[in-house]
């Protein structure tokens, strides 16, 4: 008789796996968006330099030093984690995960 009482609890615990997977995917998406947003500034500088007038406002930076510039502006661990969190809560990143978490919560409760 006890096995029947444990079965619903086990089923609900198994639903935690999708929850963890959703959270990991959300974090990975935030990390990717952070990378994209950090290279955007340098790409805009390169586009400006490669335009017809080829005037570079940043005279101390060479135009084709993409990765060097990126590494120089890299934040420390705490700064990166803060940046990941800020990206994760942006509506364009968060909305699908909020919906999926809501649906998973409904599945866990019922």
pLDDT value for 14? 76
Contact by Cβ (8 Å): 37, 92:
no
Distances (CA, A) of 41 to 8, 25, 63, 104: 52, 25, 13, 37
pLDDT value for 86? 94
Give SS3 for 99. Answer: helix
pLDDT value for 56? 52
Identify the sign of the CA torsion 101, 103, 105, 107.
negative
Identify the H or E element spanning 106: helix 91-109
What's the CA angle centered on 28, arms 83 and 92, to 5 degrees?
Answer: 70
pTM over 0.75: no
pLDDT value for 50? 77
Distance between CA atoms of 32 and 6, rounded to whole angstroms?
Answer: 40
- For the chain, 110 residues long, give each residue's pLDDT as a single digit of tens: 456 677 777 777 777 888 899 999 999 999 999 888 888 877 887 787 777 665 555 555 666 677 777 677 777 889 889 999 999 999 999 999 999 999 988 887 87
pLDDT value for 47? 81
Farthest-apart Cα atoms in the chain, separation: 82
């Amino acid at each position: 008789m006890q096995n029947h009482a444990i079965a619903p609890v086990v089923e609900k615990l198994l639903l935690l796996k999708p929850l963890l997977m959703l959270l990991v995917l959300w974090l990975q998406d935030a990390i990717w968006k952070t990378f994209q947003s950090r290279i955007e500034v340098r790409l805009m500088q390169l586009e400006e330099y490669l335009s017809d007038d080829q005037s570079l406002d940043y005279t101390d930076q060479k135009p084709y030093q993409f990765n060097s510039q990126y590494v120089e502006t890299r934040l420390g661990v705490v700064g990166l984690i803060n940046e990941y969190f800020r990206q994760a809560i942006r509506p364009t990143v968060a909305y699908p995960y909020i919906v999926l978490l809501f649906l998973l919560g409904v599945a866990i409760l019922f």
